[in-house]
Structure 1
């Protein structure tokens, strides 16, 4: 594979990082690599925010500025414009979590609509995203997923959830901004899937605007993908999927054990990797019907998709294939892919510092638990620091 090893080029990976920012990244990933430090740090941070201690400045100058674009859309513009000079697009992600009122759900929808309008005249922002639990109550999705009959009030509440999805997808269609809808825990995902499929039916008639998310650590997702493909073919609409490995593994295992049902998660990391690659293969085999956003920090999966595109004669600029990574992570994948001309977008989280903390804490905990991820980041940062030192 002649493009093997492109992800080792640290000069391209960190071209936008000043020495100061590189040193900060080195400090952060060093901290994150220590599990007990992460546990203590997250506990202290939660306490400090609850107690209204003046920690926002410290958080903002360290972990927030590394993993987030800013506190609002305008604040993110320098980051967005900067990355786009190197061919990396941005997906602005309003990462405020855990809100449960109608006012908050309407607020999240308004924020998403604002981002779509904000994206409209910016080539650097061709995609918007929202999280289902940001648009409706978790327990309501769960009741719907379990097939239980909703009360009249709940039925009205659900209609408002549907209306929020519809408003966002409709504006996405009008403005030609693609809409990625994130995945949730398996016990509420069925309701999400049904609703997103309805949006695809409505808005993916000519091209793919609406994308669902498949968490490939779930062993049932390949069958789901094939069933969806059959349905879309029969009814005449296009599919869009963001494929990821998944984000709620421990929670999924625990709930399965507590409620005495088989875990929906693949039996091993290897099985998850194979499932992810199988989904990529299936979608690229059917690229005329399905578009894909490959959300991965895994270099081998990225190479696999590059290889498949080449074998199938899919142009690297084909809008039906995008690669995506999180801001502040895997710059070696994002910037080296963009340098070769592939479609690449960074998920750029933003929001008020204290509201984004649950997201940042999850990032830190995930990085600690993903074997090798933090070590790889550290190794690349050290390599780049050494390269710069030698180049002086």
Structure 2
């Protein structure tokens, strides 16, 4: 991958490219661009302090790894503003001949050092580490009944995803691209420090399998229309966070962190995480659909008819307004000829409340538009239920022969891979056993 000329693109676009490149080269390029703006990061590539990135205090970290919301800002409507830059590191655990307790101690020390190096915020660094069913299957014992963590699988007859079976997934996120890259290098590269703080070397215990990246923020999809999967001249609004031209992350469509937290058993305080890597093909979306048709397919025909959404979602505030739509989606689809994606997903709510906390973000990995669809939920069964509702197979089955229903956005989104992970509470994040109660 080649970086663009920093003088020919916006700083945000260059930063996104540097994060995607990764490694020392990506970090150095990011720091060089910052220095050109008067940043003063001369020693940061060698683990020195990053200009303007605050250090942290591990003693202030909560027990729930996934409890990010209190560390993030909110917009004027009350929606959580996610970090801009994201790195997903899929790794296998290689303990070699090291005793398990020693390996666990080193890994925990490395994570604690990161918490010391970076404030737990978007201005610093947020991260989680989760473990796959494949990891637990290699160990003696079984997960407790309080943890629902099946192996990932295709969820519709139209899917044929590759299955992510790496032992662990580390999710790094920050507003400052150099912070993500410095943390990435400290954990998985050759750096011995990050943001001026020495980081324990645990690299011999992690065998990187894959590295995926992404970004989220108003205007970023518009800046990256040069990727395959979207027309170069697609009229993506400046305020849109998604390549489809709309905002996301509405507070009223998100489960709370409490709702997605495992309540009982040895992993109480943890959560489950699933990540589906989706590829989007949006040529027809932008060349053949009107704005009203895009609104109808993504939200609902009612949203389109009543002008609820606005240019990219600014009229919705914190509530996408799907709870007040007709409950019978099949009858609705027959009447309108189309059923919206958000409208279908809302059918899976429990007692009127969302079951998933989405922390997904767009990507141009492979120079193609896509989404890393990352969700947190108490059980993987919650995700499967919502995914079934999104698919809307019952709507298609209930359609009269000869009629044609536009079933949301299914024709534009394709699942390339899927993985399931347990994100333990912070005290168990380093090489947990399937049932920590059985540890000597």
TM-score scaled to structure 2, two decimals? 0.26
TM-score scaled to structure 1, two decimals? 0.28
In proportion to residue count, which structure has more helix? Answer: 1
Bigger RCO of structures 1 and 2 (CA < 8 A, at least 6 apart): 1
Q: Which has the larger radius of gyration?
A: 2
In proportion to residue count, which structure has more strand? Answer: 2
